[in-house]
Structure 1
Amino acid sequence: MPASGFTTVKGRILTRQTLYSAEGLCLRYCLKTDSGPLTVDVPDQAQVAFVPQFAVAAVTHRFPTITCRSLSLKDFQQQPMAAVYCHNRKLFRELQRWSREHNIALHEAEIRPHQRYLIERFIALDAEFFGRFADDDATHFIASKARPVTLGDDIKLRVVSLDVECSFTGELYSIGLYGEDEQKQPLRKVIMVGPEQEGEDWIAWVADERQLLVALVAWFAEWQPDVILGWSVVTFDLALLWRRFTFHRILPALGRDGAVLEWLVEDKFRPETLQLPGVVVLDGIDWLKAAFYKFDRYSLEYVSRQLLGEGKQIHDVDNRGQEITRLFQQDKLALARYNLSDCRLVWEIFGKTHLLPFAIARAQLTGLEFGRVGASVAAFNNLYLPHLHRAGYVAPASPLSDGLESPGGYVMDSIPGLYRDILVLDFKSLYPSIIRTFLIDPLGMILGLQQPTSETVEGYRGARFARQQHILPQLVEKLAQAREQAKLNQDAPLSQAIKIIMNSLYGVLGSRGCVFHDARLASSITMRGHWIMQTTKAWIEQQGYQVIYGDTDSTFVWLGEHHGIEDPVAFGHQLAANITQKWREHIKQAFALDSSLELEFDSHYQRFLMPTLRGSSEGSKKRYVGAVRSSDGELELVFKGMEQVRSDWSPLAKRIQYELYHRLFNDCDVTEYLAAQAELLQQGKLDEELVFSKQLRRSLDAYQSNVPHVKAAQMQVDALNDPSYGKKGQRIDYVITVNGPEPQALRRSAIDYSYYLDKQIKPIAEPVLSLLQMSFEQLVLRQMTLI
């Protein structure tokens, strides 16, 4: 260390927060370094916002302790701006309220100090701080400067999966912990309430719930995890722990150096309100959805069986609450194994899906807090604002749009029918490519509207974009280059993170929640997309092939009855390359721009059905089914928008639909199969496939309509006198009877087979039968005469 005592430290920022005191603001960053945990404080900071310079006198007169400083920055209306520096949180809130009352625009007031400090320095996740250690404390650093660094895999995180078991009323039975340290040494631990038993050395026995909480605090202090994984870990496990800590009047000291678990909004147990300094919390459900994994349901039992081929270690999963209490009372060792198994399943799901590397990559790319899901508007601001400031501008105080909204993605009228040899061609990242190609940018539009038309790129609805001064096209280009490099490196989590971020940019510009929202911007993306799709269709049809459908960025090309093409896949690749080249030439000639549009071959459907709308000869949209040839030579079915991929259809309907199209595409009989299934249904031999399973998206009392699964849930609550069956998230299994929907477990009435025949089988059979010029009524009537 230099004689002056000043030095630098590097690390990965796990959590960030602003500390408020009478002395002012201090920014606190909890890092993980290659030598262990480190807390970095940046003192003497302020909350920053911007106001027009003409308002400075009024602001300083009303708030004498607030500092205003004139800058060379302007707003989008070209007004000179001044920075406002406030060292008191309460005073800043008063300023916000006063500015609204006096109609004074306060720009970028929503940016939190600990976030602004990083993004203005282009720091996303990894940082180097310059300063000194506090009073010879090797775990506490006082910083005066910071800059971004790239640490890669140098930082090893200590990760643990956590799961809580409890009674119906919330009393804790046990807490499971599963993971490994930085050296890949395993962790297996369950803290269990009860008298000590022999059998497993990884069980720590405690006398009661209070001692369990004390033991958990001691474990966190000793082991110091950097990341907690779990399943509904924020909304259930940590929320329950906080309640039990509060009940016993014990500080929930689970964070760095004994920092307590807190919630920024009282009784709002959500990831965005969680505050646990030094510890990142990742919920499996939220991060699977963030990475665009899709499941019919997101219970740990269901997802683990889908991904890992195994489920919970418990006999009665559907009634696991009663089973857990029984085990606690009668077989605590079995409960401990179950508790630890749940932790392991979550750990292995994260490993299988690479969710932790995905979360890290997302934070590195966007500057969002490590572990924060969603927040696409915040991610856009993090990427855009530092470049905007260096260009001499501040963000708008509110959206600029006049209320005229942009159209959605292009969806072509389809040509219904049963086809052979359909090629699907997709534009690679169409909207980001449009942004790059046509220089679509918030600042670029403001500047372009001030320039001669001949020197700009024309957009839509009056937009024009500067050819030289823009930000977003370069950001997209860097992201695209980084994604290509990630693909070359076979870094799937990074590639997926970049793809999601790139595709979110249009959504952000089209959102009223974003201050950069302007319908001219969003329309210049979507309407340009319409033009590109329509022009692509025309070019393909000029070559003698028919486009039967198009959707946003996909074009469906029919090669024709007698196309004579020996290798449709090779032809599809060549056709896509030819159209891509044609776009390069056209955009260069018409706009004097370089095209980033790239059309790619996606798939070859050997058989394909584009159905009609029900009761109409008009072709459907966003609904089709096709068959592709797999590597083993079998036909694999792909459903889009059909009942097969929707949760409100019975297992029977899904199975029959799949078999119908499998038979149709393999030129096998479908009518005899349908008739046989209708007969089996009415004989009661398919009852197990008639159970609907739907989740309550809100509590029962919040529903306005009495839809079937809500009715069934209410019946279950009333019959069992148990309100838990009506809580948000509860899964309801029910059947339709002659007396309406009834819970499967409590069914008293006969099943209404006519409902399943008319409302479940008929809708999925009609698109196939119409091709055979037969109606469902004819088929069923013929079958009934044979019974």
Structure 2
Amino acid sequence: MLIEQNRETITGRILSRHLIQGQSGLTLRYYIATRNGSVVAEVRGQEYVCFCPSKDLAALSKLLQHNGYRTQPLQLKSFQHLPMSAIYCRSTKDYRHLLRVAKDLGVSLHEADIKPQQRFLTERFIALDIECEGYFEHQISQAIFVITRARKAAIDVNLKAISLDFECSGHGELYSVALYGKSYRKVILVGKETDVCQVTKNNQQSFGKQEYIEFVADEAALITCLIAWFEAYDPDVIIGWAVVTFDLALLYRRAKKLGIDLTIGRQNQSLGWKVEDKYRPETLNLPGRVVLDGIDWLKAAFYHFERYSLEFVARALLGEGKAIEQVDNRLEEIETMFIQDKPALAHYNLTDSRLVWDIFESTKLFDFAIARAQLTGLELGRVGASVEAFNRLYLPHLHRSGFIAPAEPVSTGIESPGGYVMDSIPGFYKDILVFDFKSLYPSIIQTFLIDPKGLISTQGEDNLVPGFLGAQFSRNTPILPSLIAELSASREQAKQAKDLPLSQAIKIIMNSLYGVLGSRGCVFHDAKLASSITMRGHEIMLTTKAWIEALGYKVIYGDTDSTFVWLGEKHDAQDVQRFGHELAQQITEKWREKLNCQMSLTSHLVLEYETHFEQFVMPTLRGSSLGSKKRYVGAYTKADSQLEIVFKGMEQVRTDWSPLARKVQYELYERLFTHQPVEQYLQDIIESLWQGKLDQELVFQKRLKRNVEHYKSQSIPHVKAALKLFGMNGDSKVIKRGALVEYMITINGAEPTQHLQSAIDYSYYLDKQLLPIAEPVFAVLGKEITTITSNQMSLL
């Protein structure tokens, strides 16, 4: 029996969004975290909706006369200024049929890919936080809040999070699961309390029985216990390392094999996948809970690491790693601990879980993920999806301006150019100042009123803003520049409040806007839009260069939004910092005056002084006198009087160079900048190389980006080494996507370090690794590197 209670208002944070097909139509279901716990909320009697030029409805008349559909003429227009009609449908089956029929008939349906549960929020400007009016409907097993009205809200809800990590056998059988959270730790472990070993292999006291360990009889009991734990602890957020693609996928497969319904979602809902056997974050369906993968979110927040293993990232960020000795052979150690020392396995498992938690805390990834969802309207936990984020931001404003989004992008065959990259002037310099335009592309969009709607709503206007490729933009209420203005203001507030996660989230979103408009995957894509951004950027960079050089300084390089200025030999370096800020302000003011006088535009272009390199090397292209691009080395003195060396695009920052090459490169430039001799150092390195003293530094490490059979060429060094290793040990894991391949170059090519059968090719390391990185340094010093190599060869 259903009982309608008094109307209430709830506010909270949307955790997950779902579409439920019922006999009377569609129900939108939202799991909302409130300050008083989670709530299941529903909007009933909803429909699919898409849009169609009114003139094309006749072609669909045979289909639309059925009861499942209804149409309504609108005041909105297409980008071609055609009258539009809405088509409504209550059934998923009927809607899919509509899409197929329209495609067969060549009828364009606009905004047809927007899901009802998303559109309901988007049209109301609701991103993450929501205020709902309605009433609770109490059913036998649960209470559902029926929404009658919803609006965006501003609320801070503390979400309950847990870090989850599984350990398993080589065949995937679950051994244990660790659960770590704020003031919480637990390990569910297959075994018996009598399995506690008293002495470890190192003759040290075992970890013994710990209060956080709960022993269970077998794998099935572990899964059943975990299901009960989810119901009792009831987390809002699950975090982990490859937590979707490994942990949850493994748990799902093992539960399925054992015939266990994996009801770890809210309201005893089962974990599932929208696409069978595709275990990806975008296909995961876990009602009422959010899953955040550490690897994906570090990348989304623009953290960069040489490798993304938990061991590597934890050591880089936290200064500690896994609780195991042989990390690369951890599977063997895990199986040994499971048999001989289960408390040690529990400690190892819990440590992994804690490391993930500490990484999220130290990088503020929780806050970043929330800020991103609040800004874009994307589901909390959704990474990527820049095009969808753009649509969520843009569409409600577009509709209120009287337009429907295009059905497909404009395709003229003309592509916009990339960012401006100047031909560099190679050499060794002192006193190089680096200037950057603050958020150049967003600033161009805001200044020059670049806007999809503004491009097509110019009728009747005389004073248009010129773009490129024939583009002209309306000055009348542009949408995108206004959105950027709001984002910019929010970012300044975040910076003043020292809210770094929010500031970073806004920066990433703003910088993604050009990429979206330049993508053929976006329905708003038009070469006129993208070119009006990048080509304007070229113009700005070239004009800025001319203005600076007119003041008597030399611009030696420019890249997208950065300008490298040489102060010259006679400049007084004592006031460099003040001069840098003054020059940046001067150029900013010149842009303000120019755009106001010539185009009646308000300039949002701001040049900022970034760095003073006391010493700077712009190398030449190999085998050429021409300057390189996107490659340089600079040095400056830090506040603690220590020299800081910055490598850009050099071998030092690339993983396809050996550790030896990178070490030698750093040492050579440090010697160059500190006026130490380089010849004897390089001679000693080459001698040690030939004597075999540096073999441990010759190992390359590279991960397989796909299974080896999917590589077009299997002569690629790390692929070749992986195949050789597989041929020797028969372990298929070494040729699968994600496998880390360690190899060296021998006289017979690349060979895995685990089974090195041929002599190391020292000539390769000398000619292909050391000499190419040493040559630019010797060229700066006016020295010939061939004299050193000749001397070395005479000693062999």
TM-score by length of 1: 0.97
Q: Corresponding residue for 1:742?
A: 751
**Matching residue within 613, 620, 623 for 1:612:** 620
- What is the alpha-carbon distance in structure 2 between the residues aligned to residue 58 and residue 141 of structure 1? 41
Whether 2:761 is the aligned partner of 1:761: answer: no
Stretch deviating more after TM superposition (189-198 or 133-142): 133-142
Checking the alignment, whether the CA contact within 8 Å between 1:108 and 1:395 is kept in structure 2 is: yes
Q: Tell me whether 1:81 sits opposite 2:88 in the alignment.
A: no
Equivalent position of 1:45 in the other structure: 46
Residue 428 (structure 1) aligned with residue 438 (structure 2): yes
Deviations 1:547-583 (A, max 9, x none): 0000000000000011124221111111001100111
Q: Is this contact kept in 2: 1:447–1:469, CA < 8 A?
A: no
Matched residues in 1 for 2:791 and 2:696: separation?
Answer: 26
Report the Cα offset of residue 774 of structure 1: 3.1
RMSD: 1.3
Matched, 1:187 2:189: no
Q: SS where residue 567 of structure 1 aligns?
A: helix
CA distance, structure 2, for counterparts of residue 206 and residue 451 of structure 1: 76
Trace 1:148-547 onto structure 2 (pairs within 5 A): 148-151=152-155, 153=156, 155-180=157-182, 186-197=183-194, 199-448=209-458, 450-452=459-461, 454-547=462-555
1:412 is paired with a residue whose SS is coil
**Preserved contact between residue 60 and residue 68 of structure 1 (Cα < 8 Å):** no
Q: Residue 67 of structure 1 aligns to which amino acid in structure 2?
A: R
Checking the alignment, whether the CA contact within 8 Å between 1:53 and 1:81 is kept in structure 2 is: yes
Deviations 1:172-205 (A, max 9, x none): 000110002xxxxx11111111112461111111
Deviation at residue 129 of structure 1 after TM alignment: 1.1
CA distance in 2, matches of 1:150, 1:401: 40
Aligned to 1:6: 7
CA distance in 2, matches of 1:218, 1:771: 68
Residue type matched to 1:149 in 2?
A
Pairwise CA distance, 1:59: 2.7
- Alignment correspondent of 2:205: none
Q: How many percent of aligned residue pairs carry the same amino acid?
A: 58
Match of 2:96 among 93, 97, 108: 93
Bigger mean CA offset, 230-239 vs 734-743: 734-743
Separation in 1, partners of 2:477, 2:413 = 26
Deviating more after overlay: 274-283 vs 737-746: 737-746
Residue 200 (structure 2) aligns with:
none
Q: Which residue of 2 aligns with 1:601?
A: 609
Q: Distance in 2 between matches of 1:55 and 1:771?
A: 69
| Worse-superposed segment, 486-495 or 710-719 | 710-719
The alignment partner of 1:455 has SS state of coil
CA distance in 1, matches of 2:143, 2:127: 22
How far off its partner does 1:682 sit? 0.7
- The residue identity in structure 1 corresponding to 2:161 is V
- After superposition, the C-alpha distances for 1:83-134 in whole angstroms (9 at most, x for unaligned) are 1111111111111111111111100001011000000000000001111101
C-alpha displacement at 1:139, in angstroms?
4.3
Could you tell me which of 701, 712, 723 is aligned with 2:721?
A: 712
Partner residue in 2 for 1:183 = none
CA contact (8 A) 2:76 2:399 kept: yes
Offset from partner CA, 1:446-473 (integer Å, 9 cap, x none): 012x345x41000000100001131000
CA distance in 2, matches of 1:776, 1:110: 61
The separation in 2 between residues aligned to 1:540 and 1:57, in whole angstroms, is 62
- CA drift at 1:768: 1.0
In the alignment, the residues of structure 2 paired with residue 671 and residue 401 of structure 1 have an alpha-carbon distance, to the nearest angstrom, of 57
State the alpha-carbon separation in 1 of the partners of residues 648 and 478 from structure 2.
38
1-side partners of 2:170 and 2:786: how far apart? 50
Which whole-Å CA distance do the structure 1 matches of 2:460 and 2:477 have between them? 11
- Which string of whole-angstrom CA distances, capped at 9 and with x for unpartnered residues, describes residues 477-512 of structure 1? 000000000000000000000000000000000000
| Alignment partner of 2:148 out of 144, 147, 154 | 144
**What secondary structure, in the 3-state scheme, does the structure 1 residue paired with 2:193 have?**
coil
2: CA distance between counterparts of 1:102 and 1:462?
A: 33
Please report how far the alpha carbon of residue 208 of structure 1 lies from its aligned counterpart in structure 2 after TM superposition: 0.6
For the residue of structure 1 that corresponds to 2:457, the secondary structure is: helix
Confirm whether residue 621 of structure 1 aligns to residue 629 of structure 2. Answer: yes
The code of the aligned residue for 1:711 comes to K
CA contact (8 A) 1:401 1:520 kept: no
Q: State whether residues 40 and 142 of structure 1, in contact with CA within 8 Å, keep that contact through their aligned partners in structure 2.
A: yes
Instruction: Describe the superposition over 1:333-352 as per-residue Cα deviations: whole angstroms up to 9, x where unpaired.
Output: 10000000000000000000
Q: 1:652 aligns with which of 656, 660, 663?
A: 660
Alpha-carbon contact 2:689-2:695 (below 8 Å) kept:
yes
What residue identity is the alignment partner of 2:619?
P
CA distance in 2, matches of 1:466, 1:509: 18
- Alpha-carbon distance, 1:587 to partner: 0.5
Partner secondary structure for residue 141 of structure 1: strand
SS of residue in 1 equivalent to 2:450: coil
2:669 counterpart of 1:661: yes
Shift of 1:784: 3.3
Task: Tell me, yes or no, if the aligned pair for 2:29 and 2:43 is still in contact at 8 Å.
Answer: yes
Q: Which residue of 1 aligns with 2:24?
A: 23
Count of matched residue pairs = 777
Say which SS state the counterpart of residue 127 (structure 1) adopts: strand
Contact 1:565 1:571 (C-alpha < 8 Å) held by counterparts: no
What is the TM-score when the length of structure 2 is the normalising length?
Answer: 0.96
Deviations 1:734-754 (A, max 9, x none): 111111111111112211111
For 1:467 and 1:389, the matched residues in 2 are separated by: 18
Q: Distance in 2 between matches of 1:350 and 1:362?
A: 15
Residues 269 and 287, structure 2, Cα contact 8 Å, conserved in 1: yes
Quick check: 1:194–1:208 contact (8 Å CA) kept in 2? yes
Asked whether the equivalents of residues 363 and 369 of structure 1 are also in contact (C-alpha less than 8 Å), the reply is yes
**What is the CA–CA distance in structure 2 between the aligned matches of 1:189 and 1:419, rounded to whole Å?**
58
The question of whether the paired residues in 1 share the 8 Å contact of 2:722 and 2:734 is answered with: yes
Q: Distance in 1 between matches of 2:5 and 2:690?
A: 88
Partner Cα separation in structure 1 for residue 323 and residue 613 of structure 2: 42
Q: Which runs of 5+ in 2 are unaligned?
A: 197-208
Partners of 1:488 and 1:470 in 2: how far apart?
Answer: 28
Structure 2 CA distance for aligned equivalents of residues 84 and 715 of structure 1 = 59
Provide the rounded CA distance (Å) in 2 between the counterparts of 1:32 and 1:329: 42
Contact 2:708 2:736 in 1 (8 A): yes
Structure 1 contact 60–67 (Cα < 8 Å) conserved = no
Counterpart in 2 of 1:35? 36
Cα shift readout 1:50-100 (whole Å, capped 9, x = no counterpart): 001112233342132211111101000000101111111111111111111
| CA 1:3–1:515: 2 relative to 1, 3 Å | closer
- Unmatched 5+ residue regions in structure 1? 181-185
Partner of 1:533: helix, strand, or coil?
helix
Query: Is 56-65 or 541-550 further displaced after alignment?
Result: 56-65
Q: Are 1:404 and 1:519, in contact at CA under 8 Å, matched by a contact in 2?
A: yes
Instruction: State the alpha-carbon separation in 2 of the partners of residues 59 and 222 from structure 1.
Output: 52
Whether the 8 Å contact between 1:694 and 1:732 is mirrored in structure 2 is yes
Helix, strand or coil for the counterpart of 1:566?
helix
